[in-house]
Amino acid sequence: MASNFSHAIVRRPCRRLIEGITTNPQLGKPDYELALEQHDDYVAALEGAGVEVTVLPALEGYPDSVFVEDTCVITPKGVVVDIPATDSRRAEAELMLPTLREFFSPDQIKRLSAPATLEGGDVMMVDDHYYVGRSSRTNDEGFRQFAGFLAEWGYTAEQVPVEHILHLKTGGTYVEDGNLLVSGEFKAAPAYRRGQFRNVFEVPDEEAYGADCVRINDKVIMAAGYPRVQAQLEEWGYDVATVDMSEYRKIDGSITCLSLRW
């Protein structure tokens, strides 16, 4: 099933980006000016894939607010507003609501309620089925409520354990057409060995960061610097656009994190 996206939402990184949450402090703090340049390139890649991009202003009080994907999950039938797990990010979903209301009617917007937590980085759509990471950021109650909203729209969902990385999609992404990239712990995940995945590429450990990429219309956007992942995508027949993500990697961010797409 080919992608058919027309819109994307991004948010400019704020100056407090250097204070973003990270599990990789050894990579150092981001260079803010370089992060701005990389964000510009990311927006250009989205536009090059044929979508209209809404660029929201920076939220200076929220270091991680550039990672808009964690504020909600957009499906073909509506949007579920998330509850991020960390206190410093909790308000980001609320602050996205005015923008969502510009594009979605009230009956298309669902909202999780406490004690649920769920972040969009843990959600991977495969046709009409959703894989949801059970991670440090998404709990069982978040999954239960989210799956209930999906069921109202005719979709199904299942949980996938996430033990060693931040989000489900940190460990791999579905680029449609039956093609799946997996890395690390997900190479052995039973859920990823089913018939809907015709081709599963096990990403080499040294290129694990490249496993998170996004298919938009006739392009796949991925992080620059991961030649074996890029070669596999091109072998599958995709037109690949690369974006330098060095500064976002330092604070656990990746390609899918930086936008909401529909």
The domain tally of the chain equals 1
* Residue 234 domain-assigned (yes or no): yes
Residues of the chain with pLDDT under 50: 1-2
Residue 39's CATH number: 3.75.10.10
Q: Which two tokens stand for residue 225?
A: 């610097």
Tell me how far apart the alpha carbons of residues 49 and 45 are, in angstroms, rounded to a whole number.
6
Question: What are the DSSP E strand ranges found in the chain?
Answer: 7-11, 52-56, 72-75, 78-81, 109-111, 123-126, 129-134, 156-161, 179-182, 199-202, 214-216, 219-223, 239-243, 260-261
Tell me how far apart the alpha carbons of residues 127 and 98 are, in angstroms, rounded to a whole number.
28
Angstrom CA distances, 240 to 34, 48, 153, 206, 223, stand at 22, 11, 32, 20, 10
Contact 255, 210 (CB under 8 A): no
* Residue 25 domain-assigned (yes or no): yes
pLDDT at 3: 60
* Residue 65 domain-assigned (yes or no): yes
Per DSSP bridges, beta strands 214-216 and 219-223 are: antiparallel
Helix (H, G, I), strand (E, B) or coil at 24: coil
* Residue 1 domain-assigned (yes or no): no
Tell me how far apart the alpha carbons of residues 122 and 169 are, in angstroms, rounded to a whole number.
6
pLDDT at 22: 81
* Residue 50 domain-assigned (yes or no): yes
Cis amide linkage into residue 106, ω under 30° from 0: no
Residue 17: exposure state from Cβ atoms within 10 A (0-12, 13-18, ≥19): buried
Angstrom CA distances, 226 to 124, 229, 253, stand at 21, 6, 16
Annotated catalytic residues are 167, 257
pLDDT at 194: 83
Query: Whole domain around residue 157: which residue ranges?
Result: 7-261
Q: What is the pTM of this model?
A: 0.95
* Residue 2 domain-assigned (yes or no): no
pLDDT at 49: 98
* Residue 98 domain-assigned (yes or no): yes
Tell me how far apart the alpha carbons of residues 146 and 151 are, in angstroms, rounded to a whole number.
9
Tell me how far apart the alpha carbons of residues 210 and 112 are, in angstroms, rounded to a whole number.
31
CA angle 123, 173, 151 (to 5 degrees): 30
